[in-house]
Chain A
Amino acid sequence: MIDQRIVEPKHLFFEAERKKRFITGSEAVKEAIKRANVDMAISYPITPQSESMHLVGDLFAEGYLKEYFRGENEFAVMSEITGAAMAGVRVFTATGGPGTLRAFEMFPTWVGARLPVVCAFLTRGVNSPLTIQPDTIEMSFMLDTGMLMLHAEDAQDLYDMLLKAFIIAEQPDVHIPVGVFADGFFVTHTRETIEVAPEDIKLPSYNPYSSPVPVMDMVNAPVRQMRDPFVMKSNFISYAAHASWQQEVLAAGERARKHIDHYLNGLVESENEEADILIVASGTAVSQSREAISIAREQGINIGLVKLKSIRPFPTEEIRALTKHAKAVIVPEFNRVGWLAREVKSAVNNSDKVIGGPRVFGGMTMPVELILDEIRRCL
């Protein structure tokens, strides 16, 4: 194994001197996992994620991970991740698009089993006709799995969010999985300058005894977790236990808010929020919005921006407060269904002022002009 110095998370995140690198989003995944003290990673290729997990395989070859292998398919990978996490090691994997859907059963399973898995979802279209290009529709399906969901705008976010996701997921009062989402190609394949911590330091290792449920070890054999739970029986007490368990999982997601607030410096970021027109967006839709806002500013139009970093838990209170005085709220998205607009509508005090669009999908780049058109319609 490569010798790295263990440091406090806050040192790695906030204090260590960072160096600039001109790298892709996939390479940013490698840089994060290199410093994350991950025990084990399992991979299965799918564009645009393949390069990321290939690079994590390189980390294994270089001696940064204890174990790495390629699974049979995405469902197998996520199931194997379940087993590894139950056994008490820090695990990482990534998928995207059709791979996400193929593995889907495992995501609520991770949550119910209170497994602090970190999985990167490097998003792409899932519908037929098939596309390998960026589209965030899989995030719509993921909203109710119970997983925490962070959405990276760029390679810098992806690097930072992945590292912080392990620490957020492993808090004893949270201890549920975190999905870190980034838009395929626009982030994974785009080369840009990001800042990373020195590579000779890493996070403290995972302590399996921080788990709120019995860890699978020599005392608690695996069979006791799968066969013994009384929730599998059909009687009043088992229904009550199941219901309270579900609520406890929901509560764990709620308790994550304070940790996300602390480590990501808020579930949202906002600028110029007193403007009459606000754009609320996540992922690379934020980047396109920044460009539109800067062009609008040159034309004397004042637009505010709310960037959502956490999608689950959803920053309902933050959005309600920030949009209170806005006359119009524009929600640009890289998918056909407009899942984020639905979420935002459920949060603002008057949903009539939410404009769901512009939307592009199936791999299209969002023309900045489309956002500017929407802005002009609101004037």
Chain B
Amino acid sequence: MKNKISIRMSGLGGQGVVTAAHILGAATTLDGKFCTVNPFFGAEKRLAPAESYVRISSEKINERGEILSPNIIMIFHPHVITMGKCYTMPFFDGLHKNGKILINSDEPLDLSQEELNKLNQLNAKIYYVPATRIATDIGGTELSTNMAMLGGLMGISDLVSYESIQVAITERFDGGNFVASATTAVLDNVLKSKYNEIAQLVESNMKVMEEAASVVKEFNFASSM
């Protein structure tokens, strides 16, 4: 399937990696594309490695499980890279040629020369977005980090429409249809308690996304090599 886009999201438990994948998946489905969303995590909970795999295609998707060769890698926390909190080492293992990496960090991370060389050989593009800072400043809670990361993705790709993302966020947080685990439900409640109405939650998160999309910045390899 040549038109299939595979996205690997790596983050820490509690950051909303699973929720971000769910919203992206629901939105692309609304846009009429085929999509599968597959989270992967261990028995540990918050701050342990958590990954989600999103596959988007114009045809039915067969392959399942971990994405071993992603087109796009989203890093929700610098520790994924600096402390090896992910399922693959190095964090960009299997990245397609011309692939993209989106990293949540205020400043470019101190990647080794070897890593930079390999990424350069792959003709990879690295983008930085201060997702947690935008979530805190604009959304008023770092729980919106995952929405800022989706915003960053909107800024570097053309996979899904804002309209569908908005519908997907509303469906995810508005009442009965969604099934959350106990820990996820606790975080949902914290998030919802910050707003009087779901409409406000959605609006605030859309602002977070739009801001992230507009400030996402491409890393210049030449400056560090």
Query: Residues on A close to B: CB < 8 A?
Result: 22, 24, 26-27, 30, 47, 51, 54-55, 132-134, 154, 185-187, 189-193, 284, 287-288, 290-291, 294, 364-369
Contacts and interface: CB of A to CB of B under 8 A. Distances in A.
Contacts of B64: 154, 186-187, 190, 284, 287-288, 365
B26 interface: yes
Contacts of A185: 38-40, 65
6 tightest CB-CB pairs across the interface, nearest first? A365-B65, A365-B66, A290-B62, A191-B37, A291-B63, A190-B38
A284 B179 contact: no
A367 B38 contact: no
Interface in B147-191: 179, 181
B1 to A, nearest CB: 7
B1 A294 contact: yes
A54 B184 CA distance: 14
A302 B117 CA distance: 39
B137 to A, nearest CB: 31
B91 interface: no
Nearest to B18: A189
B36 interface: yes
B10 to A, nearest CB: 15
Interface string B23-59: 0011001000011111110110000000000000000
Given A185-B39, A288-B62, 18 more contacts: A22-B26, A22-B29, A22-B35, A51-B181, A55-B179, A133-B42, A185-B40, A185-B65, A186-B64, A190-B36, A192-B36, A193-B34, A288-B63, A288-B64, A291-B1, A291-B62, A294-B1, A294-B62
Interface in B74-115: none
A22 B25 contact: yes
A294 B36 CA distance: 18
B133 interface: no
Contacts of B25: 22, 191
Contacts of A365: 64-66, 68
A48 to B, nearest CB: 11
A54 B40 CA distance: 20
A279 to B, nearest CB: 12
Given A22-B29, A365-B68, A189 B62 contact: no
A307 to B, nearest CB: 12
Interface in B194-217: none
Interface of B: 1, 22, 25-26, 29, 34-40, 42-43, 61-66, 68, 179, 181
A284 B1 contact: no
Contacts of B1: 291, 294
A242 to B, nearest CB: 43
Contact of B42 (A54, A132, A191, A284): A132
B160 to A, nearest CB: 14
Contacts of B181: 51
A177 to B, nearest CB: 27
Contacts of A294: 1, 62
A24 B184 CA distance: 16
Contacts of B34: 193
11 contacts: A22-B25, A26-B179, A132-B42, A133-B42, A134-B65, A185-B38, A189-B40, A284-B64, A287-B64, A365-B66, A367-B68
A360 B35 CA distance: 25
A193 B29 contact: yes
A192 B22 CA distance: 10
A83 to B, nearest CB: 29
A59 B144 CA distance: 31
A27 to B, nearest CB: 6
B14 to A, nearest CB: 17
Contacts of B63: 287-288, 290-291, 368
A364 B68 CA distance: 11
Nearest to A368: B63
Nearest to B65: A365
Contacts of B40: 133, 185, 189
Contacts of B37: 190-192
Contacts of A192: 35-37, 61
A191 B35 CA distance: 8
Contacts of A55: 179
B24 to A, nearest CB: 11
Contacts of B62: 287-288, 290-291, 294
Nearest to A26: B179
Contacts of A26: 179
B22 A191 contact: yes
A266 B21 CA distance: 36
A24 B36 CA distance: 9
Nearest to A132: B43
A228 to B, nearest CB: 46
A15 B119 CA distance: 53
